[in-house]
Structure 1
């Protein structure tokens, strides 16, 4: 390590507060490679995924509403991501289109860009249309005399350029997503509305946004209107940044010879989550909101909350008994059945040969973990992670949320398992992070530290390799007690492309 880092490097690492041992581990991952996840099979209805009937849904929802008064509840929303990818096809248009010589039709035909065609046709239905039109006329004084093609170019320029609305460089959370009662509504505000439906009785709802420090004023300008809710902000800790390397797996250096560190992905937010002291924490992505499906979304979050509280009550009952007294073989068998059927944790074959005291100790270890209940929607071709049964290096089989990048798709068997998946992960979960004695778990103790991801990036025109920490709902929660519950597709309405705002879930309801 001394040969890799100079004294100046070590001083820089120290000044930034980076952990040298973690950096060594990161370099080891680059040099030795990262092991792929070993999929056993996809989780399906009745085999890892709960499918609830209407009576069960009503019961769990009622259980949540009845018992939530006894708990502190918080909503956690990762919201630092920029909207760059939402507007990629429009950025490409600006880079390749000459408004003085080209036509929009010829551009669409040349590049096969149907996204641009959809955007143009639907332009009046975007919530930011009036604001965009007004700003365009402000920037382009001769706008009224422009040809149709020039007007389209001017509008897109205004939407993305720093002298205009500059939407591509801003966080999704502060962008106009919906238009209600003649008012523009942002994702931040939609999440606040959701949180108010989950709150504990007459107490203020609490919602926590992870953001980029540079945009905090923009977030506060929106949230300051809501004085009936507790709103918290935190940043991804810069000390969680990971070192970048070149094609030879040596630390990449900037022109001034300084080492390059990069943000480590949403897995770094486990530190932010770990700092929250609430009993129950609901997690949803910032762009997964809806104009018209609020009732469905809230109803299913309550169902997930009811499942978690029901399971947690049983877990705590068992733990209190196991912790206080020697229990009978019959009760051991009952708890074993609960662990395997409700928590989907298969105990080792040799468990039956353990002495009673060791069986109790083993069951305490399995039961005394953070719990997460994750909604899963039917697979309709959306990108993202999915629910799978996974075998670890010790031969244990557990339920995990796995991203495609973690899977060896060159392995035909693994690829077939992926292709057989019936559900995927919409990031709609509720977590319980305290033990049966009321103590908060240290969530860092339940991370699969090996579940990192290496990605290919560029810096200053040069190829680099970057390392992402175990994903927040992937490796960072790998050792949690996990339950998957099927939820309706209507609860999943992400905005990955600006044209997604034209879908029914993001448009005002109109009569047919």
Structure 2
């Protein structure tokens, strides 16, 4: 199957032959469906925090953060092409559509309007405006990542999502003196991110009296996956070389694995708001962090208990804790296990990565949600599941999926070290059978591509998982350019 030339190509990418064989097998066999038990709900898999709870956990976080290393990770490599899909259609077809009509009617309300006007002092034709906004003759917004676009207008200028993430991080991803952030970026835009940081940092550091420590990483070539034709034969370029494709955000697990911090907040690049609307987001970020700190303290305590003689009542308490706070309910065979087997299981559960995921009420946004799922050992565990992972031909599974009350807005705080402070190898806690297969084209030829288990889906399948309901106003993504006209992005 692989030629000597192929093997040299694999060696350069640091990809093993076994990985290629496994990927082709997945293409041939497909990925198994997730087995949904039921949607997670308030009181059964989703924790609802009262005002008193929020205040308690915020204080817990504030008390602990000066003794912890905290980092904010922002996946920021995706291009904004889809954000401007309707405008590209208008440009190519030379006729308006619903979104482009709104765009031109309210053009002056966009934060990037002043920049655009500098290129076109007098508003010209619609075609010229779109060319200067989207193409490299002008602002080149059609190919830039969202993190570099002007999102919000302020009296002293405009801010990009990258800048909004820095300002937000001052409040919860810092100890009051230093703030640490990590952005994953694409190689072709790395220099632009570097330039923007160099430009804005002095002003932000002076204003907030804080030192920012910003790092970048790129998706590793070793995480790319091979493509095949529709007959599952390796897809080859015109020169005979193998075609590799980026494997989706699941590839960023490697980047996360390289980070070193006690608590790591993860949030999407486009989910930002102006300063006047940040309070709710900051409040709940601190609350989630405080809850995780308390859970980690419990894990340390239980791990210590498990080193000695454990009573039946202590095991029962641990079982209740695991069900309520770690997202795992033992299967029917649990009661048949011996004391030693139960202790061994809890030692395993209490010594693995832990994450808290904020979830919002489902308002019809596309994407995954929180579910109880059946694992191979018969246990029920909490997972974030995408529609592509569910067998929609099975009416019972479909009903469970569409009956979900909550949605995953990518709002996580993670603990990636064990009770002794040693980093976990996160690659050991993913479920490789939860990838995706998609159909694409290359040079006019159809092909099949493969994505690794999603970063917050299968890549974290064997983590301890806690879902917490957060307010809807903490979720303000920008999927299309028109979203910037929503009140949450107007300043």
TM-score, normalised to structure 2, is: 0.95
Instruction: Indicate conservation of the 8 Å contact 1:320/1:436, yes or no.
Output: no
Report 1:185-224 matches (<5 A): 185-224=159-198
Shift of 1:16: 2.6
Report 1:81-100 matches (<5 A): 81-97=78-94
Describe the superposition over 1:237-261 as per-residue Cα deviations: whole angstroms up to 9, x where unpaired.
Answer: 0111000011111111111111100
Q: Does 1:308 align with 2:292?
A: yes
Shift of 1:469: 0.2
Counterpart of 1:165?
A: 139
Instruction: Indicate conservation of the 8 Å contact 2:174/2:180, yes or no.
Output: no
Report 1:93-492 matches (<5 A): 93-97=90-94, 107-108=95-96, 113-137=97-121, 151-224=125-198, 225-226=200-201, 228-291=211-274, 292-323=276-307, 325-492=308-475
Question: How many aligned residue pairs are there?
Answer: 481
Counterpart of 2:208?
A: none
Counterpart of 2:16?
A: 19
**Corresponding residue SS for 1:167:** coil
Q: Does 1:43 align with 2:40?
A: yes
**Corresponding residue SS for 1:269:** helix
Shift of 1:42: 1.0
Instruction: Indicate conservation of the 8 Å contact 1:71/1:200, yes or no.
Output: no
Describe the superposition over 1:179-235 as per-residue Cα deviations: whole angstroms up to 9, x where unpaired.
Answer: 112311000000011111114434311000000122112111221232520000011
Task: Write the distance in 1 (CA, Å) between the matches of 2:187 and 2:3.
Answer: 31
Shift of 1:403: 1.1
Task: Write the distance in 2 (CA, Å) between the matches of 1:480 and 1:199.
Answer: 22
Describe the superposition over 1:354-399 as per-residue Cα deviations: whole angstroms up to 9, x where unpaired.
Answer: 3333322221111111110000000111111111111123322111
**Corresponding residue SS for 1:473:** coil
Instruction: Indicate conservation of the 8 Å contact 1:326/1:357, yes or no.
Output: no
Q: Does 1:58 align with 2:55?
A: yes
Task: Write the distance in 2 (CA, Å) between the matches of 1:70 and 1:235.
Answer: 30
Counterpart of 2:206?
A: none
Note the residue ranges of structure 2 that are not aligned, 5 or more in a row: 203-210
Task: Write the distance in 2 (CA, Å) between the matches of 1:328 and 1:411.
Answer: 43
Counterpart of 2:74?
A: 77
Counterpart of 2:207?
A: none
Comparing 271-280 with 359-368, which one deviates more in the overlay?
359-368
Counterpart of 1:104?
A: none
CA RMSD of aligned residues (A): 1.4
Task: Write the distance in 1 (CA, Å) between the matches of 2:387 and 2:335.
Answer: 37
Larger radius of gyration: 1
Shift of 1:445: 0.9
Task: Write the distance in 1 (CA, Å) between the matches of 2:174 and 2:268.
Answer: 22
**Corresponding residue SS for 2:7:** helix
